[in-house]
Structure 1
């Protein structure tokens, strides 16, 4: 297997406040539990996971000049991520607040994306010059339309990968669609982008996404089958059973594990299996990046 190629991640850098209730979270009252602060944001979670998977990774985004921004810069540098394209802006650092029930499910969340919304085409043009040596670029739909369009313009012959992020933001992928090599999205996000009903079977839904431009599609469906479309050909993979502790970052781990496989030259189907292992390891622990996440822990599963 080849040494992994470098990956640049463009997008959100947040301070995540993750709360786990000791009992189900209720409205209009406090709930006992535990709260932890970690780096977050889709691009950040993917970059952190890639670093644990021994992939050279660079992160392009912005943090504030406040204490949260300083702390995130230090923590991400300690994770082994190249931060040469991470800007410091005169805005509050982004924050994501999530409330989880005892079974790990998400009861509610709020995300302040003001600083990420400020990342315009000019920022992308500057960051792209700093990240020119990376043959794989990953972007997320938290970025504004003009930033995504600039990424598509500057991608050249690189492998360009994107994540839909949410139903509300999935339509932003239209700015990339004509140039997009691979897109990750779930059923609700695919429905929001295509206009199809969310109840549409997974294969026709994934094919509808592919018809909008992406050469490859990975459509997740919770604990259901993972649907892949590659050059118009659909394939489904059983993700396997998992004991869920925390859903935070599982989708980002799927992306990171898949990208880590692609960076090592694996075909998409094998890379997707690596992504599923990374997602399982993340679901079985607390936090967006599992301590057990390592390529050496994925390889034996791929061999089986």
Structure 2
């Protein structure tokens, strides 16, 4: 059987407008507008499925038409959706982004239903379906920063997660501060970019190596820091390794960090060395942003 990875966080509809032109404030340009299944947890899970892993989604999806469509679309992408919390009083979340040739122009994430659902999405880890207090889940769990700070604090210290291999992404720079409990409790592997690393420790960094060292000094157990097309660095208290991603023409951005994280998780599950796992993640992200299909 494929390895089971639990993905906890946002599963929603992405509304993404893309244009091959450079964009600035107030520009009105031709392009394409797509509606795709998205959210950090879904993007990670979808990429994990491409590596023959078995992703299980724990999230909140409304009982509206958009939610029904999203449940089916997510299952079609290889996600196990049987444990999803489906409140009848909350709408399905969504994300909207504008991308130009010069990168991500703007984005808004509406994950209010996920936040409102709170720890209800974790019920399968407590009631015996995926784990319990006497038999906690012991595999890989990927978390995203769309969860509330209170819930992330609970996960960082709850014995229910004591046997899990936690992998945590902030979802966006605006939510990076929510990852601080994992520094305080020295739990899991943090996946952040240079800006998010700076927010976590209130500093500015010029390189991913410096950011990794600072996060380890602040209590991180394991950390990955990316810097766009420049150096990426993985570190533990005993090892730091850096690589530079291959140069490619960028055609899309949304989902690239999630693809990177999933590829790194998959490589480590398959026993890759730290250096090889980092290279695999960089190659997958480069393939994705250049338009090749890691995520569709």
TM-score, reference length from structure 2: 0.89
What is residue 239 of structure 1 aligned with on the other side? 245
1:148 pairs with 2:152 = yes
1:255 pairs with 2:261 = yes
Cα separation, 2, equivalents of 1:122 and 1:107: 34
What is residue 143 of structure 2 aligned with on the other side? 139
1:290 pairs with 2:286 = no
Cα separation, 1, equivalents of 2:140 and 2:2: 11
Give the direction of change, closer, same or farther, for the CA distance of 1:168–1:28 in structure 2 (3 Å limit). Answer: closer
1:266 pairs with 2:265 = no
- The alpha carbon displacement at 1:166 in A equals 2.1
Q: Secondary structure at the match of 1:87?
A: coil
What is residue 134 of structure 2 aligned with on the other side? none
Bigger relative contact order, structure 1 or 2 (CA pairs below 8 A, ≥6 apart): 1
Give the direction of change, closer, same or farther, for the CA distance of 1:167–1:23 in structure 2 (3 Å limit). Answer: closer
Q: Secondary structure at the match of 1:83?
A: coil
What is residue 94 of structure 1 aligned with on the other side? 93
Q: Secondary structure at the match of 1:139?
A: strand
Cα separation, 1, equivalents of 2:188 and 2:63: 35
1:191 pairs with 2:198 = yes
Give the direction of change, closer, same or farther, for the CA distance of 1:57–1:194 in structure 2 (3 Å limit). Answer: same
What is residue 182 of structure 2 aligned with on the other side? 176
Cα separation, 2, equivalents of 1:65 and 1:72: 10
What is residue 70 of structure 1 aligned with on the other side? 68
Cα separation, 2, equivalents of 1:190 and 1:79: 31
Cα separation, 2, equivalents of 1:26 and 1:239: 27
Q: Secondary structure at the match of 2:173?
A: coil
- The alpha carbon displacement at 1:138 in A equals 0.9
Cα separation, 2, equivalents of 1:210 and 1:85: 34
What is residue 36 of structure 1 aligned with on the other side? 34
Contact 2:46 2:79 in 1 (8 A): yes
Give the direction of change, closer, same or farther, for the CA distance of 1:175–1:121 in structure 2 (3 Å limit). Answer: farther
Cα separation, 2, equivalents of 1:225 and 1:27: 29
Contact 2:115 2:146 in 1 (8 A): yes
Cα separation, 1, equivalents of 2:21 and 2:181: 42
Map 1:17-32 → 2, pairs under 5 A: 17-21=15-19, 23-25=21-23, 27-28=25-26, 30-32=28-30
